[in-house]
Structure 1
Amino acid sequence: MDIGSQAPAAYDAACEHLLGLQRDDGSWEGEMEWSTMVLSQYVIVLHLLRRPVEGATRQGAIRYFTRTRTAAGGWGMHPQGPPSPYATTLAYLALRLLGVGPGEPLAADARRWLLTRPGGVRAVPQWGVFWLAVLGLVPYRRVAPVPPEAMLLPSWVPLHPSRMLGWTRMLYQAMAYLYGSRFRADLGPLSHELRAELFPRQEPGGAPEAGTDVPVGRSAALRVLQSCLRGWERVHSRRVRRAALERCHRAVVDEQHASPHHGLSSVNALVECLVLFAHDARHPLLGAAVARLEYWRWSDGERGVRICGDRSTVWDTAFATEALLASGSPTAPDRLDRAVGRAHHFLRTAQITTWTGPTVPARRVRGGWAFSDGHSRWPVADCTAEAVGALLSAEAGTEGHRRTDDAVPPPRFTTPALHDALEVVLRRQNRDGGFATLDRGRAGGWLEILNPTEMFSNCMVDTSSVDCTGSVLHALSRMRPLLRPAARRRADRAIARGVAYLRGAQNRDGSFTGTWGINYTYAAFLAARGLRSAGLASDDPALRALGGWLERTRLRDGGWGEDWRGCPERRYIALEHSLPEMTSWAVLAGLDTLGPAHTAVEGGVRWLCTHQQADGTWPGDHVNGVFFTTMMLNYRLYRAYFPALAVGRYLQAATPRAFPARAFPARAASEGTA
C-alpha cells in the first residue's frame, strides 16, 4: 500500500484514540512507571506513621509486587532492569510489613535471591542502608554522613545544599533531619525477625559491593570528606545540631506550604512526611501531607496499586495538543476545536501564578509550568516551553475554523502571562548557553565528584541538557514575534547562546546525547526542532551531520529503536527491532534535517503506519525515559501522541503531494476520559 493512503488513515486513527483519552478537565496524562522502589517506600513510611496499608490497597500493592518481580525472584530498578539488591531489599521489607510471611513464595524467593548474591544485603547502596537505619535494622554509624549542619553554612559556601539540583537539595534537607536526629522505628518483635532473615551470617551495613546498584563509585575526595564528617559526628555541638535540625525542619515546612502538601516528587513527599512525624507525631501539617500522598498513586484491577515517581499532566497535555494540530488541515474543525479549547483552558490554568511559601524562593516561580500540574511550585524550563508552544499552537490552529455555538475560541494567551513565562525560562539559562530544568546551575560540575548516592549520576548540579535547550529554543522562537521590543532582544540573545551551546554539544558522529529520554534518538528530535526553529537551514553543517547519523542508525525494518543500556554506558546501542516512540522521534528529526521526501523519513512513516493497531494505538512496553543517567522510566502515553505527532508533521510537510482529505469519526470527544 502506498504511503499516500496509509499516512492519512493512520493519523486519523491516532487522533481518534487521543481524543478518547482526554479527561474532563481538558488534560491528558499517562502513567510514568518507574520501579517498585517507590511503592516499597510508601508502605514503609505509612507503617512508620502508624497508618499501615490495609484492605484493598494492601491487596493491590501485593498484586503489583507479584506482577513485577523478575524470574529470579527479585525486582529491578525499572521495568526492564535486572534484579536489584536495593529494589529487592526494599520490596522484601515492604512485603513483610504488609503481612506476607517469610515462607510465602513472594517473600521467600526474594530472600533466597538476596542471600545467594555475593555480598547479600551488603550489596545495597547507601540509600538502602539509610532505609535500613530508619527501620532500626542497622546502626546509623553504617550510614554515610548526611550532616544537617550543612544547612547552617553561609549560602556562598560551595558545599551549601542550596547549590544542589532541586531534587537532591529537597531530599538532602529531609534526610539530614532524620539522620541528625537518629530517627528510627520500633518494629517490635518484627525487628529481630527481619535481622535474622536478612543478615543471617554477617553484620548488617557496611560498604556496598560494585554491581547493579552502584554504577557511581565513591571518589577519593568523597571518601576523605565522609571520613571528616564521621569525625564531626563524634564531636559536634548539641546546640549547633539542634539549630541545624530546626533549619531542616523549617525547610520542609516551607516546602509543604509552597507546594501545598504536594512535594517535588513522590520520593520527596514520602521522606518529608517522616520528617514531620519525627519532629512531632501530632504535627499540624502531617495529616494533610499524608492525605496528599494519594496524589502519587495509580491503580487498576490488572496491575494493582503502585506509586509513580512523578505526574506528567502538563507535559503529556502539551504534546497531545501539538499532535492533534500537527497536520495543519483538520476536516472536522468543530470537534477538534472543542478538544483543543479544553486543553488550552487546562494549560492556561496550570500556569503558576502564586507563591504560598513563607520564604521567598531563590528561583523564579511565577509564570512557569511544572511537569505535573498547577499545584506544584516547581516550574521546569522545558515543561514551560512545551506548554507555551502548545498554547500558541492551540490559538493558531483554531483561528479561521468554522465553529458551532459550543466551540468557542479559547481566550488568548495574554501578553503579561507570556512575558512571565519568558522570565522563567531565561532564569534557567546557564553560563554555557544551555538550559537547565528546575534552577540555573549554582555550582560547577566539580560537585559531581562528591556525589554520595552511588546509584545516580549527574544528580548534584542542574546542568544544561540538549533536550531541554532544544525545547526552549523552539518556544522562544515562537514567542519572540509576540514580545515587547526589549523582551524580544533578550530572547534573541538567549536563542543565539542556546544555538551555540547545541553546536558545541554535538557529538563527532553528528548525534546528540539526551538527558531525559532514551537517548540519542530523543535528543535528535528536540535538538533538530530547536535549531530549525532558531532559523538554521536544513543544510546547516550541524543539521546535515545529524541527518547523516539518522540515516546510519535506521534499522533494517525501516524504523529506529534504541536500547536503554546506552544511557548508563553513554553510547548508542541499537535494538534489533524498531519502537514506535523512537521511530517517531527519528522521523521528526528527519523532517527537520533530511526532508519529507527522503527515503529514511518515508520509511519511518511507513513503519509507523504498518505497525499501528486497529484501535489507533501502537504496541510495545519498552522503557523510553531516563533520569540521572541510570534510572529508566516508561512513559505510557508516549506511544500514543509521538507517533501521531510524527505522522501529522509528515502530512503537513508533504501537503503539496495532495494526500486525500481526512475526517475524524463522529464520536464526541467528551465520551472518553482517563
Structure 2
Amino acid sequence: MERRSTDAPMTLSGRIETTSVWSSDSANHRSDPKQRHDSVGKPTKQMASQAELSGRRAHADNRLKVTESLADLALQQTSQWFINNQNADGHWRGPLEGDTILESEYLLICGWAGRLDQETMIGCTKRILAEQLPEGGWAIYPGGDADPSASVKAYLALKMSGCDADSEPMKRARIAIAKAGGPWAVNSFTRFYLALLGQISYSDCPAVPPEMILLPDWFPVSLHRVSAWSRTMIVPLSLIWSFKPVRTLPRDRGIQELFADCSYEMGNRPVGGNDAWSRFFRIIDSAIKLVDCLGFRPLRRRAVMACRQWMLERFQGSDGLGAIFPPIVWSIVALRAMGCPDNSAEVSECWKQLEGLLERPDDETIRVEPCRSPVWDTAIAVRGLAEIVSPSDTISSSMSTAVDWLLAQEVRFAGDWSRRVQAVPSGWCFEYANRYYPDVDDTAMVLIAISSWMKQQNIVRKDHAGRRLSRVKKATRRGIDWLTAMQNSDGGWGAFDRNNNHELLCKVPFADHNAMIDPSSPDLAGRVLEAFGSLGHRVGEPVVDRAIEYLRATQESDGSWFGRWGVNYIYGTWQAIEGLRAVGISRDDPLVERGIKWLQSKQQPNGAWGESPASYVDPSLKGVGEPTASQTAWAVAALVAAGEGNSSSARRGVQWLLTTQRPDGDWNETAFTGTGFPKVFYLRYHYYRISFPLIAIA
C-alpha cells in the first residue's frame, strides 16, 4: 500500500503532534498534577535537554511508524481476505445467522409435511441444543434472556425429532418455559405452528381472513397498508387460517406436558395490548371467528383465489415469496392446504428455495438462514475496498467485476411500491432475486458503493471503462430519482414503501411481531442522505432539506439516534452523522456535535464500542454491551465523518481494531449486531465484522 509522505508524522487520519499518542495518559489527556507543579516551580532542573526532546520525538515517530505499519498490514490482510472470498461472477455473500427459531421452524414444517430425515434432524437438533441456555431456555440473541416463543418452538422441534422428555436438557427447558410464562406466552406466529401440529386449536390463533385481500387500499386495514414483509406473511397465513390444516402428532412427540401446569388465567391470556384500540380489535377478532364458525363466507372463494394468484405472481423473479424464510414456509402449507400435491411445480419451487437457505458450518450441524444477502454484502465490500488509497491492480479488478455484478442486479420492475409511488422502476433488493421488493437501504448502499468506486478509480470515458461509466451514470440517476420518489411525507424513508406508517395496524392481535408497518427511521434517512451526498447533492435541495429536518426532529435528548436496522443507537447515530456530513452539514452544527459527544461518552476503557439488543427493550442500556468490531467501526466512521478522525477517541478505536484483528484479516465477533424486527428477531451478519473495520481503518 502506498502512502503519501508528509513533513509531520501521520496517524490513520492525518497530522498529529509528536507525542506518544497510544499511551494511556495521552489518550485520556491525563498527567500527574504533582509533576506539573514541580515543572512550574523548578523550571531549570525540570526542563528537558534538547537531546532528550529529540529522543522523545524519535520514540514517538517510531511508535507512529509501527501504528501505520499495523494499519497497512490490516488493510492488506483484510483486502486479501475479500479477494480470496469473492465469487467468480464478482459478488460476495457472507453467512446470515439468526437464532434457533429458524432451525426449529424448519424441523416443524418438515415434520408437518412428512419430510423429516435423519440427517436433517441431527443437524438441526445439534444446533438447537448447542444454543440452549444454562437455565434451560433459548434466547433470540447471544446474552439475551430466555424467550418464550423461541423456547417453546425449540422444545417442540426436539420432541418431534425424538428427544426424550425426561432427558436433562428437556427438563431444564420445561422449567425455563414455565418461568418465561408458559406456552400461552408465545407470539402469533408460534401459535400457528402449534395449531398446524395439533397442539392448540386454530381458535387460539388471531383471525387472518383471506377477504382482507379484497379491501381497497384506502381502507384502514387493507393489505397494502401493512409492511411488505407482513404482507408476504399475511396472504399465505390467511389461506392457512381459512383451510385450517392439521397434522396431529403422536402423543409422545407433542408438548402437552407444557400445558399441564398452566392456570386458567394463563390459557386465557389476551393476545396484544390492553389499550382501547387493542381491546376493540380483539372484539373484531372474536366476531370474525364467530361469523366464520357459522359458515357465513360469501366472498371466501373469491378471496382464496385472489390470495393464490397474488402469491403465484410474486413467486416470479424471486427467491421464494418475499425471498425470506417465513413466507416461503407458509407458502408451502397454504398451497398444500389448497390441494396442491407436494410434487407440483409451485410447491416444489418453494421447497427448493427453502432448502437453499440451509448452511452447514461443519459436517454435523445445519444452520438455517432467514434469507441471502449478496447485494448488501457486495455493496459494503466495494465501499470498503474503495477507501484504500492506491489499490493494487488485483483490488481494482475485483471491484470493477463487483460493480458490474451490482449493475446487473438493478430491479427494473414496478413492484408493490408502485401502488403508492410514480417513478421509473429502479432500486436494488437485498437478495439474489426479489423483484417485487427492492428496498431503500440496499439501493442507497449500492449507490454509495458505486460512487466510492468511481472516485477511487478516477474513471475516464474510454474503452470498456467508458461503457461501464455510461451504465453507472444511468443506473445512479435512476436510483436517485427512485429514492427521491420514495421519501415519506415526514422527510424520512421506510424500507420498502412510501408512507407505510398507519400505526392503528399495530393494535391488531396479529401485530405482535413488532413490524406491522414500515415507517421512517433515522438510520435509513442517514444512509439515503449519504447516498445523495456521495453523488453531489447538498443542502438547499428540497429532498435533502426535508431529510435533515427529519433527523433534527428524531434526535434523542442525549444526542443519539435510534437504529432500526442495526443494533442500535450506535448504528443509528453513526449513520445519521455520516448522512448529515455528506450533504454539507457543518461539523459545528449542534446535530453533529451532540451525536459525537454521545458516541464519545459510550466508548469503553479499552477503546472499543459495543451495544446489546437489550437496548431496544431498555433505553437505559443505550451504547452498552460487549465490544464488537462492527460497532467499533461504526463509531470510528462517525468520528471521522464529523472531522474527529484525529481525536483520541478515534485513535483508540482504531488501535483496538488493529490489535484484535486475526492473522487471516478477520475479527472475532459472535454478537448479533443486525436487526430484523426490534424486540423479536436479530441477526449476525458474518461480514459486518470484516467490512466495516476495513472502512474505518482505511
The residue aligned with 2:534 is 478
TM-score scaled by length of structure 1: 0.86
Q: Name whichever of 201-210 and 56-65 sits farther off.
A: 201-210
Cα deviation per residue 1:338-379 (whole Å; 9 max; x = unaligned)? Answer: 21122112211211134699x986666932111122455311
The residue aligned with 1:329 is 390
Give the letter aligned to residue 656 of structure 2.
Answer: W
The residue aligned with 2:402 is 343
Is the counterpart of residue 57 in structure 1 residue 120 in structure 2?
yes
The residue aligned with 1:652 is none
Aligned runs of 1:619-634 on 2, under 5 Å? 619-630=668-679, 631-634=681-684
With CA pairs under 8 Å and 6+ residues apart, which has the higher RCO, 1 or 2? 1
Contact 1:441 1:461 in 2 (8 A): no
Alignment equivalent of 1:93, drawn from 156, 165, 168: 156
Contact 1:512 1:527 in 2 (8 A): yes
In structure 2, the CA distance between the partners of 1:310 and 1:568, relative to structure 1 (3 Å rule), is farther
Give the letter aligned to residue 604 of structure 2.
Answer: L
Distance 2:197 2:459 in 1: 62
In structure 2, the CA distance between the partners of 1:292 and 1:361, relative to structure 1 (3 Å rule), is farther
Contact 1:596 1:602 in 2 (8 A): yes
Q: Name whichever of 195-204 and 425-434 sits farther off.
A: 195-204
Q: SS of the residue aligned with 1:424?
A: helix
Q: SS of the residue aligned with 1:224?
A: helix
Distance 1:12 1:408 in 2: 29
In structure 2, the CA distance between the partners of 1:550 and 1:78, relative to structure 1 (3 Å rule), is closer
Runs (5+) with no aligned partner, structure 2: 1-62
Contact 1:79 1:634 in 2 (8 A): no
Q: Name whichever of 76-85 and 461-470 sits farther off.
A: 76-85
The residue aligned with 2:254 is 194
Distance 1:355 1:542 in 2: 37
Q: Name whichever of 579-588 and 138-147 sits farther off.
A: 138-147
Contact 1:344 1:410 in 2 (8 A): no
Contact 1:125 1:453 in 2 (8 A): no
TM-score scaled by length of structure 2: 0.83
Contact 1:262 1:376 in 2 (8 A): no
Deviation at 1:83, TM superposition (A): 2.0
The residue aligned with 2:688 is 638
Is the counterpart of residue 69 in structure 1 residue 128 in structure 2?
no
Give the letter aligned to residue 277 of structure 2.
Answer: A
Alignment equivalent of 2:589, drawn from 530, 537, 540: 540
In structure 2, the CA distance between the partners of 1:365 and 1:281, relative to structure 1 (3 Å rule), is farther
Deviation at 1:464, TM superposition (A): 0.5
Is the counterpart of residue 425 in structure 1 residue 474 in structure 2?
no
Contact 1:88 1:110 in 2 (8 A): yes
The residue aligned with 1:309 is 370
Deviation at 1:426, TM superposition (A): 2.3
Aligned runs of 1:144-543 on 2, under 5 Å? 144-187=206-249, 190-191=250-251, 193-202=253-262, 217-236=273-292, 237-259=296-318, 261-282=320-341, 283-301=344-362, 304-330=365-391, 332=392, 334-354=393-413, 366-399=425-458, 412-450=470-508, 452-454=510-512, 456-457=513-514, 459-480=515-536, 492-543=541-592
Give the letter aligned to residue 614 of structure 1.
Answer: P
Is the counterpart of residue 82 in structure 1 residue 180 in structure 2?
no
Contact 2:574 2:634 in 1 (8 A): yes
Distance 1:376 1:247 in 2: 20
Aligned runs of 1:124-135 on 2, under 5 Å? 124-135=186-197
Q: SS of the residue aligned with 2:360?
A: strand
Q: Name whichever of 254-263 and 561-570 sits farther off.
A: 254-263
Distance 2:585 2:256 in 1: 64
Distance 1:453 1:595 in 2: 42
The residue aligned with 1:584 is 633
In structure 2, the CA distance between the partners of 1:21 and 1:303, relative to structure 1 (3 Å rule), is farther
Aligned runs of 1:575-614 on 2, under 5 Å? 575=624, 578-614=627-663
Contact 2:610 2:625 in 1 (8 A): yes
Aligned runs of 1:534-573 on 2, under 5 Å? 534-573=583-622
The residue aligned with 1:47 is 111
Deviation at 1:319, TM superposition (A): 1.0
Contact 1:299 1:305 in 2 (8 A): yes
Deviation at 1:242, TM superposition (A): 2.8
Runs (5+) with no aligned partner, structure 1: 482-487, 649-674
Q: Name whichever of 240-249 and 268-277 sits farther off.
A: 240-249
- CA RMSD for the aligned pairs? 3.0
The residue aligned with 1:36 is 100
In structure 2, the CA distance between the partners of 1:311 and 1:560, relative to structure 1 (3 Å rule), is same
Distance 1:181 1:143 in 2: 13
Deviation at 1:387, TM superposition (A): 0.8
In structure 2, the CA distance between the partners of 1:390 and 1:428, relative to structure 1 (3 Å rule), is same
Deviation at 1:197, TM superposition (A): 3.5
Deviation at 1:523, TM superposition (A): 1.2
Distance 2:327 2:230 in 1: 9
In structure 2, the CA distance between the partners of 1:553 and 1:266, relative to structure 1 (3 Å rule), is same
Deviation at 1:39, TM superposition (A): 1.8
Distance 2:234 2:76 in 1: 48
Deviation at 1:590, TM superposition (A): 0.4
Distance 1:204 1:279 in 2: 35
In structure 2, the CA distance between the partners of 1:414 and 1:607, relative to structure 1 (3 Å rule), is closer
The residue aligned with 1:24 is 88
Contact 2:135 2:176 in 1 (8 A): yes
Contact 2:90 2:402 in 1 (8 A): yes
Contact 1:349 1:374 in 2 (8 A): no
Deviation at 1:595, TM superposition (A): 2.3
Deviation at 1:233, TM superposition (A): 2.2
In structure 2, the CA distance between the partners of 1:195 and 1:521, relative to structure 1 (3 Å rule), is closer
In structure 2, the CA distance between the partners of 1:198 and 1:572, relative to structure 1 (3 Å rule), is closer
The residue aligned with 2:15 is none
Is the counterpart of residue 11 in structure 1 residue 70 in structure 2?
no
Q: SS of the residue aligned with 1:238?
A: coil
Distance 1:14 1:203 in 2: 56
Identity over aligned pairs, percent = 27
